[in-house]
Amino acid sequence: MNTPLLRVRDLCVDFGANPAIRGVNFDLTAGETVGLVGESGSGKSTLARAILRLLQPVRGGVEFLGMDLLRCSGAALRAHRRDLQIVFQDPLASLNPRMTVGEAIGEPLEIFEPGLTAGDRLRQVSAMLERVGLGASMAGRYPHEFSGGQCQRVGIARAMILSPKLLICDEVVSSLDVSIQGQIVNLLLDLQREAAMAVLFISHNLAVVRQLSHRVMVIYLGKLVEIALCDALFATPKHPYTRALLAAVPQLPSVTAPAAPTMPAAPTMPAAPTMPAAPTMLSVPAPPSVPALPAEPIQPARLMASGCAYRDRCPYVLPICETNDPPLIEVGAGHWVACHRSQETLIPLSFAP
Partner 1 sequence: MIPTLSTHELSIRFSHRAGTIQAVDGVSLKIAPAECVGIVGESGSGKTQVFMAAMGLLAGNAKASGSVRFEGSELLGAEPSMLNRVRGSKITMIFQDPMTSLTPHLKIGTQLAEVMVSHLGMPWGDARASAGRMLDRVQVPEPKRRLNQYPHELSGGMRQRVMIAMSLLCEPSLVIADEPTTALDVTVQEQIIELLRAVRGEFGMALALISHDLAVVAGLADRILVMYAGRVVEDASAQELFRRPRHPYTAELLKCIPSISGPRPLRLPTLAGQPPRPGEMLEACPFTPRCSRAADRCRIERPQLMGAAASQVACHFPLSS
* Residues contributing to the site for partner 1 (CB under 8 A): 39-40, 147-150, 177-183, 185-186, 189, 204, 206-208, 210-211, 230-231, 234, 244-255, 262-263, 290-292, 295-296, 351-353
The edge-to-edge listing of strands for the beta sheet with 33-37 is: 84-87, 166-170, 198-203, 33-37, 215-220, 223-229, 335-337, 329-332
Provide, rounded to whole angstroms, the least separation between the CB of residue 34 and partner 1: 16
Cβ distance to partner 1 smaller for residue 111 or 207: 207
CB 76 within 8 A of CB 67: yes
Cβ distance to partner 1 smaller for residue 58 or 352: 352
Distance between CA atoms of residues 28 and 168, nearest Å: 12
Provide, rounded to whole angstroms, the least separation between the CB of residue 72 and partner 1: 36
Cβ distance to partner 1 smaller for residue 210 or 302: 210
Cβ distance to partner 1 smaller for residue 115 or 253: 253
- Looking at residue 225, its amino acid is V
Identify the helix (H) or strand (E) that includes residue 212. Answer: helix 206-212
Identify the helix (H) or strand (E) that includes residue 60. Answer: strand 59-64
> Please, which residues have CB within 8 angstroms of residue 222's CB and are 6 or more apart in sequence?
13, 19, 20, 21, 22, 24, 42, 43, 46, 309
Cβ distance to partner 1 smaller for residue 52 or 230: 230
Provide, rounded to whole angstroms, the least separation between the CB of residue 235 and partner 1: 9
Cβ distance to partner 1 smaller for residue 116 or 180: 180
Provide, rounded to whole angstroms, the least separation between the CB of residue 212 and partner 1: 9
CB 18 within 8 A of CB 57: no
Provide, rounded to whole angstroms, the least separation between the CB of residue 350 and partner 1: 10
Cβ distance to partner 1 smaller for residue 6 or 346: 346
Provide, rounded to whole angstroms, the least separation between the CB of residue 57 and partner 1: 25
Distance between CA atoms of residues 171 and 181, nearest Å: 11
**Taking Cα atoms as reference points, which of 155, 168, 156, 170 lies closest to residue 45?**
170
Instruction: Give the largest CA-CA distance in the chain.
Output: 73
Distance between CA atoms of residues 164 and 83, nearest Å: 4
Report the DSSP beta bridge partners of residue 336. Answer: 227, 330
Provide, rounded to whole angstroms, the least separation between the CB of residue 156 and partner 1: 16
